[in-house]
Structure 1
Amino acid sequence: MIVNKKSGTQSAKQQVQSSTLAARSSQLAAFTLLIIAGILLNSCNKFLDTKPTDSITPDTYYKTQEDLNRALAAVYDRLGDRRTYGSALYGYLAFSDEFYLKGQLTGYMSNTIDPSMLELNRCWEALYVGVERANMLLDYVDGAAVSDSSKNEVKGQALFLRAFYYFTLVDNFGAIPLKLTSTKSPTEPALPRTPVADLYAQIVKDLKEAEGLVRDITYYGYNGRISKTAVQAMLARVYLTMAGYPLHDEAKYADARAYAEKVIQSNMHALNPSFSQIFINLAQDKYDIKECLWEVEYYGNNQGIVREGGYVGSWMGLYCPNVDTGFAYDYVHATRRLYDTYEAGDLRRDWTIAPYRFAPSGTGGNLVKVTRTNWSATEIYERSAGKYRREYETFKPRDQDFTTINFPMLRYSDVLLMFAEAENQVNGPTQAAYDAINMVRRRGFGKPVDIADPVADLTAGLAKVDFFEAIQKERFRELSYEGIRKHDLLRWGNYVFTMQQMLTEYQTNMPTALSPAAIGQASRITSRSVLFPIPNSEIAVNPNISQNPGW
């Protein structure tokens, strides 16, 4: 089912018009702490003997459905921060073998990471703000004068988001403090690190509880809210992670298989027949709830009252210096490794990696005129990431930086590939595993997904280890530029080795005009890089936390 962002239920970023009013509730946690701090520090003052009647506190908020909607929007809000899924966690904090950042020799986009790095500190902060907002909502939702079904839905959403924020934190930073209630006083003691296994146990607990509380995706009609199948798909991803690095709990492959199968058997999702159409829909403000289980939502161009535009397509998009055509900065460039992994006839290659750019061809008024110009067959490293193409945007006027393009967080093809991977680990390369991967491959070759095809289908009779290698390659082809590649390499235990290979590749094969930035970015990935350093902003205020090895 495909619906337009601008129609249907009170959804998408139209709901964010009321969510933007969440600017007030989105800062409620910090505001409340200031109130509490003032009371604690100035309790001897006489004027505080009179209880304020016009202030916002948790006890006076969280009472109506509108209060809950705004508070929930505030929990979602941190997903779109530039330091999370605004650009960092699919870009400059997620270096892998799928891209390098053109011309970035120094600064935060050059992979020059240390505990004082501002963007890293703000990523940590944004994720923990999301946790705090979720905790506050969970603490007070039961006091709202709304139906139990409404409370349960909000609880389910908040539990999922808290779990996802913690999943992102532990995936990137390792053992981190676990906090399951909101801050009531600024004098609360700082928390030590929680063991990784305990963090994952809590993440699973929250997700399983959320599964029973949220609604089916067909109830919403769009995928900016978490649905039951989105929770199940995320459980499959979490269990696959637990089966690999760092826990290596191989029993979790069976759990991953079971939750991926739940999504498949729900019959609520299916592959879009066209790979490119998935991303055209994202640019044209259309929701495809069959293919996309969950998207981070953006709306508008940040030129009006509603300021919920994102950077998808401008920060990561194919080169274009013209705003009317769809400006893109040309940061994210393809690697030859990604380009070469596509087989002959695979249509995904020339959509994932743009075969053209918009080259300047003169000036007209204040705008640069551009001409669509193809790259030559030998120009591979020159090519931009191509999935998010601003030329398809329908929202006008366009802005240089801000776009309305949503970012895909969970797609059905990912679920099929997770099922195939887990099935192979549990039972070997069964027909069910072949069926799942072959559906994804057939779509990639432009074939009907339910009909066997000798060109597209994977070679029959593979050994278990060879089938696993095929799954790794298929995930690379299908999911590049969707913020999942580094995560996959980490859980498979070959992130550092892969990036050391990329360093050699850049040194050997890359044009000298482009190689210095790529070589520098890859060279900075060493054994310590499986985890980020704990930011100085946390080290400075938390005496109970230690630094990660090597930092």
Structure 2
Amino acid sequence: MKTTIKINIWVLIFLSSLIISCKKSFIELAPQDSPSSATFFKTEEQFRQALIAAYNALRGLMNVDFYTAEMRSDNTHYENYAVNRGDGYVHRENIADFLDHPTNSYIANLYYACYTGIARANVVIDHLEGATLDESAKRDIDGQAKFLRAFFYFKLVRYFGDVPLSLHEVTKADDAFLPRTPAAEVYQQIISDATAAIDQLEPPTTFPQNGLASKGAATMLLAEVYMTQHQYPEAETLLRNLTTMGYELLPDYASVFSTSNKNSKESIFEVQYQQGVTDGQQSNFIYRFLPRSTNTAIITGVQTNNVGDGGYNNPTQDMIAAYEPGDKRLDASIGIAEGVYDASMLFTFSANKSVVGYQAPTGKIGIPYIKKMLHPHSSANNTDDNWPIYRYADALLLLAEALNEQGNVQEALTYINQVRVPRTGLDALTATGPDALRELIAHERRVELAFENHRWHDLVRTGKAIEVMTTFGAKLKQQLNYLPTDAFHVVDYRMLYPIPQAERDLNPALTQNPGYTN
């Protein structure tokens, strides 16, 4: 029998993903003297605490987004680990190989992370309506919550197409089990929320920023939405507005990712992490991106075992070859872990080398890793690296693309060269027409934004995913003897991921994307 759900703020903060994922009934989880949603949402501080819970869902998303946005592309692949064929390994490999199924746990985790953030944002938005707060505080909190809701839905609609559109706090079981909403309507809601966020939020006034969403972040989000929909004049207007908000490119590319430059003038929005022993807010990306080893100390400076989670998101040779000779971004983005594998397919590091002109010495091999996420730290799996979502360089390159798609080649070149010339060591680009410049912009976005979860979305957005990934897959199969014969069958339906089967088992109203079976 279905019963009404009694929800309090602590359940929302820690268990809101379960509200989305579980059906039938709930036990009253909180003691009677615990603060409930009826008593908690009274002060500005309480609303901001609930808002931080919505931001926290971004970390859950970033823990899986590089599998679905980078490893799905030609930028990165995975390290072969044939000695363990458990689901945790196979499911991640399947995403890269275009062999994923509705039971893939990492695709499900992405889906749940987005709906966790949406559920928490909905609670804040709903309770603000009747709150007696200072009006400027209400506008700011509501704007941030709507930015987050729009961001999470933008991820969902690009990855899954039609998705359930939940816009209010879940207070009874039936509210949590909605059918899929057409993608066009989801986009309408994203545009509405992002537009409201632009209106209600302020641009950054000081740098480094505080890490919260600003007018700039909302403007960039809506611009990317319009670029995805090929509404170039609308995107152009927003991106021009961004150029007036105080953002600047840092003079040194490597310094953009330094932990001492978090939330800098080049940052429009990034997911916040803070190293610490027990607070749970730290990042550990470098340990995932290095080869599996019983001792990572030569690279990380900390002796530890990364066998369970290492070996993913390795830069491909195709990616390395994409950098032009002399491009300083190559050495800033990719390093080489030199060493040997043992019989258990674990890597023993012997040196940390530059990728530039690298040739492995006799008896050694070099494994590329993402250097952007390598910075000093003292505890294993406890780093201070934020994850960049939007950078000013991204905005300038999107503006160049928007102008080029409208035939404004010369002005487009000025923006792409703003990104390219000052800090790469390369000459300015020239182009004779929109077709040639379109290819140059795609290349520039690939190398400038490498490993920041843009490549797969760019390929899909520009209609190049099937062509590029089919060619890449054929090349990779010649290089790697462990790839399944049916890998890289890149077809239309795989431009979307499958709706997680666990959700469909709970919610019969959910249909599956075409082409997928269990």
What SS does the aligned partner of 2:117 have? helix
Question: 2-side partners of 1:254 and 1:490: how far apart?
Answer: 20
What SS does the aligned partner of 1:293 have? strand
Among residues 256, 263, 267, which one is paired with 1:292 in the alignment? 267
Task: Kindly state the Cα deviation for residue 353 of structure 1 after the two structures are TM-superposed.
Answer: 2.2
Structure-2 residue corresponding to 1:427: 407
Structure-2 residue corresponding to 1:469: 439
- Is the counterpart of residue 457 in structure 1 residue 432 in structure 2? no
Question: 2-side partners of 1:155 and 1:219: how far apart?
Answer: 22
Question: 1-side partners of 2:260 and 2:190: how far apart?
Answer: 31
Structure-1 residue corresponding to 2:448: 478
Structure-2 residue corresponding to 1:276: 254
Among residues 376, 380, 389, which one is paired with 1:409 in the alignment? 389
Task: Kindly state the Cα deviation for residue 521 of structure 1 after the two structures are TM-superposed.
Answer: 9.3
**CA 1:232–1:520: 2 relative to 1, 3 Å:** farther
CA offset digits 1:473-517 (Å, max 9, x no partner): 110111110001000001111212211111221133x2xxxx135
CA offset digits 1:74-111 (Å, max 9, x no partner): 10111101xx212x211256410111111156512212
Structure-2 residue corresponding to 1:203: 190
Question: 2-side partners of 1:32 and 1:264: how far apart?
Answer: 40
Question: 2-side partners of 1:369 and 1:506: how far apart?
Answer: 25
Among residues 529, 540, 543, which one is paired with 2:508 in the alignment? 543
Among residues 222, 231, 235, which one is paired with 1:235 in the alignment? 222
Structure-2 residue corresponding to 1:501: 471
Question: 2-side partners of 1:470 and 1:434: how far apart?
Answer: 10
Structure-1 residue corresponding to 2:368: 384
Question: 2-side partners of 1:57 and 1:125: how far apart?
Answer: 24
The amino acid that maps onto 1:457 is A
The amino acid that maps onto 2:271 is V
The amino acid that maps onto 2:264 is I
CA offset digits 1:121-170 (Å, max 9, x no partner): 22211211111111111000244443111111110010000001100000
Task: Kindly state the Cα deviation for residue 415 of structure 1 after the two structures are TM-superposed.
Answer: 0.3
What SS does the aligned partner of 2:428 have? coil
Question: 2-side partners of 1:415 and 1:318: how far apart?
Answer: 33
CA RMSD of aligned residues (A): 3.0
- Is the counterpart of residue 109 in structure 1 residue 74 in structure 2? no
Does the 8 Å CA contact 1:217/1:289 hold for their aligned counterparts? no
The amino acid that maps onto 2:282 is G
Identity %: 28
- Is the counterpart of residue 322 in structure 1 residue 302 in structure 2? no
**CA 1:408–1:23: 2 relative to 1, 3 Å:** farther
What SS does the aligned partner of 2:269 have? strand
Question: 1-side partners of 2:481 and 2:136: how far apart?
Answer: 57
Task: Kindly state the Cα deviation for residue 59 of structure 1 after the two structures are TM-superposed.
Answer: 1.2
CA offset digits 1:312-344 (Å, max 9, x no partner): 222135888334615673432222222222212
Question: 1-side partners of 2:315 and 2:74: how far apart?
Answer: 9
- The aligned runs of 1:172-187 (5 Å cut-off) are 172-187=159-174
Q: How many residues align?
A: 476
Task: Kindly state the Cα deviation for residue 433 of structure 1 after the two structures are TM-superposed.
Answer: 0.9
CA offset digits 1:328-363 (Å, max 9, x no partner): 734322222222222122111122222x32658xxx
CA offset digits 1:371-392 (Å, max 9, x no partner): 43456645699442333343x3
Structure-2 residue corresponding to 1:311: 284
- The aligned runs of 1:42-191 (5 Å cut-off) are 54-81=33-60, 84-86=61-63, 88-91=64-67, 94=70, 95-104=72-81, 106=85, 107-111=90-94, 112-188=99-175, 190-191=177-178
The amino acid that maps onto 2:38 is D
What SS does the aligned partner of 2:270 have? strand
**CA 1:471–1:146: 2 relative to 1, 3 Å:** same
The amino acid that maps onto 1:290 is K
Structure-1 residue corresponding to 2:5: none
What SS does the aligned partner of 2:389 have? strand
**CA 1:544–1:351: 2 relative to 1, 3 Å:** same
Question: 2-side partners of 1:336 and 1:467: how far apart?
Answer: 24
**CA 1:29–1:118: 2 relative to 1, 3 Å:** closer
TM-score by length of structure 2 reads 0.84
**CA 1:272–1:373: 2 relative to 1, 3 Å:** closer
**CA 1:440–1:52: 2 relative to 1, 3 Å:** closer
Task: Kindly state the Cα deviation for residue 23 of structure 1 after the two structures are TM-superposed.
Answer: 6.6
Does the 8 Å CA contact 1:285/1:405 hold for their aligned counterparts? no
Does the 8 Å CA contact 2:208/2:264 hold for their aligned counterparts? yes
- The aligned runs of 1:1-80 (5 Å cut-off) are 26-27=13-14, 29=16, 54-80=33-59
